[in-house]
Every structure is written in structure tokens, then in C-alpha cells.
Amino acid sequence: MHISNGIINGPVSLAYAGVAVALLALCLNRSRQDLSDRLAPMAGLVAAFIFAVQMLNFPVLPGVSGHLLGGALAATLVGPWVGALCVSVVLIVQALIFADGGLSALGLNITNMALLGTAVGYLVVVGLMKLLPRSAFGVGAAVFAASVVSVVIASQGFVLQYALGGEVPLTIGFGEISAVMGGVHALIGLGEGTIAALAVVAVAKVRPDLVYALRGERLDGHAQASPKRLVVAGLLTAAVLAGGVSYFASSAPDGLDATTLRGCTVNAAGEITGGSCIAQSQGEHELSGGLLADYGINGVEGTTGIAGIIGVAVTFAVGLAIFQIVRRRRKARV
Amino acid sequence: MKALEISDLHYSYPDGHEALQGVDLHIGAGERVALLGPNGAGKTTLVLHLNGILPPASAANMRGVRGTVAVGGKKIEPKDRAGLAEIRRRVGLVFQDPDDQLFLPTVGEDVAFGPANLGLRGEELAAAVDEALAAVGMSDVKHRAPHHLSLGQRRRVAVATVLAMKPELLVLDEPSSNLDPQARRELAEILLSLPVTMLMVTHDLPYAAQLCQRAVVLDEGRIVADGPILEILADTQLLAKHRLELPYGFAVPV
Amino acid sequence: MGAGHAHAMYVHQHSAVHHLAPETKIAAALAFTIIVVATPREGLLAFGAYAVLIAAIAVLARVPALWLAKRSLIEIPFVATALLLPFFAAGPKVSVLGLQVAQEGLWGGWNILVKGTLGVLIALLLAATTPARDIMTGLDRLRLPQAITQIAMFMLRYLEVLADEARRMRIARMSRLDDPRFLWQVKGFATGLGTLFLRAFERGERVYLAMRSRGYTGRLPAALQADNVANTRQWMTVALLPAVALAFLILWGLQ
């Protein structure tokens, strides 16, 4: 997930660093309001928790394991401001002390994972909590959906960054990249969401006052959140989401094209970097008969849709495989 | 002048739980007192009153919050920031889990934290740190990370972190818990060598008997017994009534 | 990401590089990274020169080459991206070992590979020669808000405590025959995370109380970070790295 140096060009990285600094300042300010002089030790422990969570591997399938990203989890537990601040600190420390994630890409990584991921996650949780019952299952489902959406949106943040300042133009259009990234991350979000939901429910049962998104209210009833129900619900969410994203992407090529052009102006301002922008290379390749000329206003509109469908199909295939395994195990038990 | 004077102290938590219901306690300078009582008796709440962490300034006029605490003749005023700083210098709190207390990357820095907050700088600060570490026999771990020390070492360092502030009253929460017998004895020797007034919260009755002359039993937010420790430990009825028990095979030395 | 995170990457040595003030090293590493990223991918000579610079620092800092090589494996996902790019990039194709690949993609893959590697190496050298807490002190002196450096410091202090707690909880779970192999068997693991959060949060509250007991009012006393502040000479010395790199960039990179 951590973007390294050299994937996104200098000017765009710099612009994102600026965005990250401004938004972090806001988060810092709001976090102080939440925690006052308790900020450093409390946020420090929460950041340590997120970091520790990212180190713990959980099984997905035999031989396949994953780890949490924790953005939506953090936002649900400690609120969007402290949450974003803590994830940012984790990313800064990972870049400086563990050489994980490029120094020049720090702004990009913070924007995607700390700011976008937590903000979206929090909005979804709070929105869904208004609709869902205040039961363990309601909270679990809200956190689950928030995690999936958060991870997918964070991945779309990267796609946007690549569209703005990716160093290499690709044969596949950004609609396809968006769909494929969305599909893959919807699957990642499945694990993320299951774990985050169960963890939040565990906290909410004991100390509902420590779940920021619950705003101090207790849970109703004693309904249990079962991992199985979450996985099933999640697969549906993931499929709908992957489909939705690809539909959105393929139905709005103009919007994406506009972003590539925007990337161009940024790039033109910093030509010393030598990074090629999409629209520029597009021109070159039109002359040389390259494939990228197909992308954009005169693009073959079908291709973006196809990639989206592939993304959904992959999601479904994996989902079905999991369903099969569940069913077989259930039969075996009976 | 008394080292500690608590009179008619009441405290209720915001959820309504009445943790302290009228505590009166006087401790003279140089005394070593054991504070005994079952879990949930209000011991920790009482300890947090000794340096003004409770009651929070915002709760000063709430229902169920009254009474006074004075340290060395100085009354604690929750709203008086400068006064609270002085109280916190006079009262050294050693928490049960050293990991809660030692939060800085190296032992030396952590011991320096308190005196630096008091405004000590340079040579003076370094001297305070070295003196405190020497007092607990931990001078050689000054540059190590707390996480890499044994529990016994960490607890001794935790004592040093408050000793560095030259407290008049040392308050220890469960100092002997989870220590191996040697670490437990070494800590006892160190504590006995310190020339300060001491209040020790503990369930380890033999340890209390070894270190303190006087015992105070707290239960349900009230002081239910106060006297020479050996007399209190010999009163089996009193102990049983307040869920205190001597370990198997232990007899009160006469 | 991985288990390697539990231990910071400091390599204990007594070299000139180790003894530099941390703020100068951070600034130099950052400047160097920016210069590397700003170098056009065709500037092969410049990249070569950067690599020589890095090797020189590594020798000066007595950081073993094998250590650097092992730690730089963190970059592998990006190497994979770099290797895939030639097949997905647009533009004219060239034939390499009988495979049709895009010229643009080859350059792009090279670009990611070389910039990523150089970036990881300089970051590793920074981490190898500067203890984690000094990096925080350095950031503080570079005017990063103290709230952020303080949070980071607390995080580093308690990371291992929490990781140990998680490990003990896992062992306790496994001793009671919880051995998840599928995602829908992770209830124990996930609930454990909830417990870990509760413990972390409550520990935060206790740490705060213990700090307040020793006079904490929201800022760490400056006296704790007084040693090894950079002087002009140190800044000048360290400025050599980005200056030389910039010279290479202008000489060979921008043709």
C-alpha cells in the first residue's frame, strides 16, 4: 500500500505534501479540542495500537494472510481527527524509521491512507449508524461497510494520483485501473471490515464510551455479530461497490480525462523534473500511432466497462469460491 | 506539622459511585504507613487525591465531592495551578505498573522528566538524576530503554523517577506485586534506606509488616482501622471482615 | 509491512555519520530524495553517481552492505510493479529476449526501480545511523509541531509493549485451541484486537496520570533534548550530500 519514490512525479508529490500538511494542521487543532493536554499520551497509545495492529497477521485462507490498515477502525474508535492524526504519525514513522514508503511520497501516502481513508470511513460509520439499529450487529455492519469503502476509496486516491502525476502512461485506461484497484481492494476490505467490525463490537460491549462513533451511547440488546454473517454481507457490499466504481469510472471518461489534463499543467510548471504527463505523452503517441491515443475523448468507450466487469467478475469468482468452502464445511459439520 | 492531613474526604465518580465516604487520616513526618484494604475499597481513588489529580478542577463543587487534603501543611486547591505543581513535587506517586510510569525512551530521560518539569537544568538536573538512580542502585541502566529491563529493575527506576523530585511523601501502589523474592527484598532494603515519609498501598501483608510501623485499613470508602501494624495483623476478626488474609504459614512476629 | 517493524533499524556504531546532529541528517536525506526524484530517468550517469554517494556514506557510517541489502527487500512490491510496467505501458515496442515490451514501460520500470531503491537506501542509512528517539528530536528541531513528535515518541515507546501484549493474548488463545485458518474463524483474533485497544487506551490514561503526577502540563521539558544540537559546521558538512547530488544532477542528469 505504501507508495515509494519515483512512482508519482515530483510536482504532484509536492502538491499532495502541501495538502497533507494543511489537513494535518486542521486534524491537530481538532484533536487538541478532543483531548487537550492528554493528547500526546492518548494519541501516542492509539498510534501504537494502530501500528501494532498493522503488524499482526490474520488468516484469510490457508496460506493467505493479511493485516489491517486500520483507518476506518481508528476513525470509529477515536474519531476522525485523532484517528487521521494517529495514522499519519504511523506513516511518518514508517517512512523515516523503517524506510517503508518513500520520503518524497509521504504526502501521497498520508493523503490516501490517513486523511481520505479515515474521513470516508468515519462518514460512512456515522451515516450508517443513523439507519441501522444500535445493536451489536448494527454497529458491526456499519464498521464493516465503512472499512470496505474506506479501503476502496483510499485505493482510488492512488489512482487519481497516478492519473495526475504517474511517471508512465499505460495501455489500460484509468477507468480500468480504477476498476481493478477497486475490485482488489474491495476484497482486501472484506478482511479489513470483518476484523474491524468484530473489534469495535468487542469494545462497544465493554466500554461503549470509548467508541467515538457511538457518542457515548450503549448498545441495545444482546445480539451477536457473527463473522460468517459479516463475510456474507461483505461479499455483497464488495460486489456492489466494485460494480459501482467501475460503472462510475466508465460512465465518466470526461472527468478522468480532465484530471489527466490537470496533471499536465502541473507538470508543465515543473518540467525540470522530466516526468512525463499523461496528456503530453498522449500527444507524442498519437503521432507515433501509440495505443494510448485511444484513451480519452476519442477513446473506445467499451474498454473501461470491460475492465469494470472483469473486476466484478473476479470479485464474484473469489466470493463464490469462498461460499463453496463455507457450504462444504457446513455440510461436513452436519 | 503533619506530613499528610486528610479530613472528611468524600468523592463520587461522575457515574455516581461513592468511592470515598468521609476519610480522615493524619500521617506524621517520617512515618511509614501501610494502606490496606480489599479490591474496590477506594485505595487508588484516595491515592489520586494525594497530589490533586482528583478531584478534577471541574468537579470541585459537584455533589459528593468535599473534604480537604493538606500535604506538609499546604492545602490542595484543585483550581490553583501553581499550588498543584508544588503539591506534586512534595508527593511522589509510584504507580503499580512501571510501564505506565516510564514513558520516555531511556531511563535517564525518564528520571529527568519530573525535575525538568520543576525547572531544573544542566548540571543540577544531571545531579538530581544521578542521585536518584544511585539511591535505587540503578545507575548502570541510565542509558538503557525501560522496555529492556526486568520488572524489578523497572519498578526501582519508577521509584527513582519520583525520588528525583525530592518528595516529602512517597506513595507506592503495590510495590511488591509480581516481583521475584530477591527483587522484592532488594526493593524493601531500598525503601527502608530512604529518609522520607511513606504511604504504601498493598495486599502483601508480610511486606507491609516488614516496612511499616503503622497500618490503616480502608473499606467501602472509610477508614475502618488504624493502629500499629502488628496489632492490626494479629486481629484475625478484623482482617476477615475486610477480606484481608495473612499468607499460609505466616504468623505475626511478637 | 511485516514483523520486522517491531524493532527499530538502528545499527550501533561510532562513526562520523552517527555523531551528526539528527536534524541535519533528516534534512539531508530529504533533500537527497527530492533530487533523486527530480532527476530525469534518462540521466543514467547521475543515478550512477548517486549510488556511489550512497555507497560512500554507507562505508563512512560502517553500515554493512548485507544489512542494507536485506532491509531494502521492503521494496519488493515496487520491483514487481517495475517489472510489470514494460508489458502494460503504452508506446512503441521493442524486443527484449524475444518479448515485445513497450519502450516507455522499460523506462518507467527503470524509473521506479532506481528512484525507489535509492530512496529506500538513503532512508535506511538515516535509520541505521540515528536512533529512533533522535529522529524525533531532529524532527522537533526542524519545527515539526511538538504534538506530532510527542505522539510519535509515545508510539515508539509503547509499540513493543502492545506487541508483547498481543503476542501473549495470541498464545493464550492458542493454548485454548483457537487456531484460525479462514477469515470467518477470526472472531477470537478480532475480539482480541478490541481488548488490545481497551488496554492501550486505558494505559494511555494511566500514563497521563503518572506524567501529571510529575508536573506534566502538555509540553515536554526542553531540557530533555538539549544535547547534540547542530552547529553551523555540522550543517555545512551535511549540506555536502545534497550539494554534490545537485551538482551531479546538473552535470549529467539534465542533458
Q: For residue B62, what pLDDT band results from cuts at 50, 70 and 90?
A: confident
* pLDDT over 60 at B80, yes or no: yes
Q: Which residues of C touch A274 (CB under 8 A)?
A: 38-43, 254
pLDDT digits (tens, 9 = 90+) for B29-43: 999 999 999 998 999
pTM of the model: 0.76
Give residue C11's pLDDT: 85
User: Which of 1.20.140.10, 3.40.309.10, 3.30.420.40, 1.10.1760.20 would CATH assign to domain A10-245?
Assistant: 1.10.1760.20
Count the Cβ atoms, other than its own, within 10 Å of residue B228. 12
Q: What pLDDT is stored for residue B60 in this prediction? A: 64
Does B105 contact C132 at a Cβ distance shorter than 8 Å? yes
Q: Do B165 and C215 touch (CB under 8 A)?
A: yes
Distance CA C83, CA B74 (A): 73
Of C9, C38, C193, the CB nearest to A98: C9
Please confirm whether the linkage preceding C145 is cis (ω < 30° from 0).
no
Give the pairing of strands B197-201 and B169-173: parallel
pLDDT value of position A190: 87
> With contacts defined as CB-CB under 8 Å, which chain C residues touch B172?
none
pLDDT of residue A322: 54
What's the mean pLDDT in B220-243? 94
> According to DSSP H, which parts of C63-145 are helical?
65-71, 76-88, 103-129, 132-141
- Asked if C216 and B117 come within 8 Å (Cβ–Cβ), the reply is yes
Residue C81 · residue C63 · CB < 8 Å: no
Nearest to A168 among C104, C183, C194 (CB): C104
Give the pLDDT mean for C99-127.
85
Query: Which residues of chain B make contact with C133, given a CB cutoff of 8 A?
Result: 105-106
**DSSP secondary structure string for all residues of A231-278:** HHHHHHHHHHHHHHHHHHHHH-HHHHHHHHHHHHHHHHHTGGG-PPPH
Query: What's the gap in Å between the CA of B196 and the closest CA on chain C?
Result: 17
- pLDDT averaged over every residue in chain C: 83
- Cβ contact, residue pair C153, A86, below 8 Å: no
Distances (CA, A) of A187 to A79, B65, C9: 25, 54, 32
User: Interface partners of C (3+ CB pairs, < 8 Å)?
Assistant: A, B
8 Å CB contact of C214 and B104: no
Residues of B in contact with C160 (CB under 8 A): 147
pLDDT value of position B4: 95
Q: What is the pLDDT of residue C13?
A: 83
Paired sense of beta strands B214-219 and B32-36, if any: parallel
Model pLDDT, residue A305: 40
DSSP 8-state symbol, A217:
P
Mutant choice from B48, B101, B123 vs C, greatest count of C C-beta within 10 A: B101
Q: Which of A37, A39, A202 shows the shortest C-beta gap to C194?
A: A202
Rounded to an integer, the average pLDDT of B60-81 is 86
- The answer on pLDDT for C70 being more than 60 is yes
Interface test with B, best of C161, C213, C229 (most B CBs within 10 A): C213
ipTM of the complex: 0.86
Here the cell at position B97 is 505498573
pLDDT of C223 reads 67
In this prediction, residue A283 carries a pLDDT of: 30
Q: What percent of chain B has pLDDT over 90?
A: 67
Nearest Cα residue to C155 out of A200, B104, A95, B108: B104
Contacting chains of B (3 CB pairs or more, <8 Å) are C
Residues in chain A with pLDDT values less than 50 = 223, 246-309, 312, 333-334
Please judge whether B117 and C217 are an interchain contact, meaning their C-beta atoms are less than 8 angstroms apart. Answer: yes
Which pLDDT belongs to residue C109?
Answer: 81
pLDDT per position as a tens digit, B152-206: 999 999 999 999 999 999 999 999 999 999 999 999 999 999 999 999 999 999 9
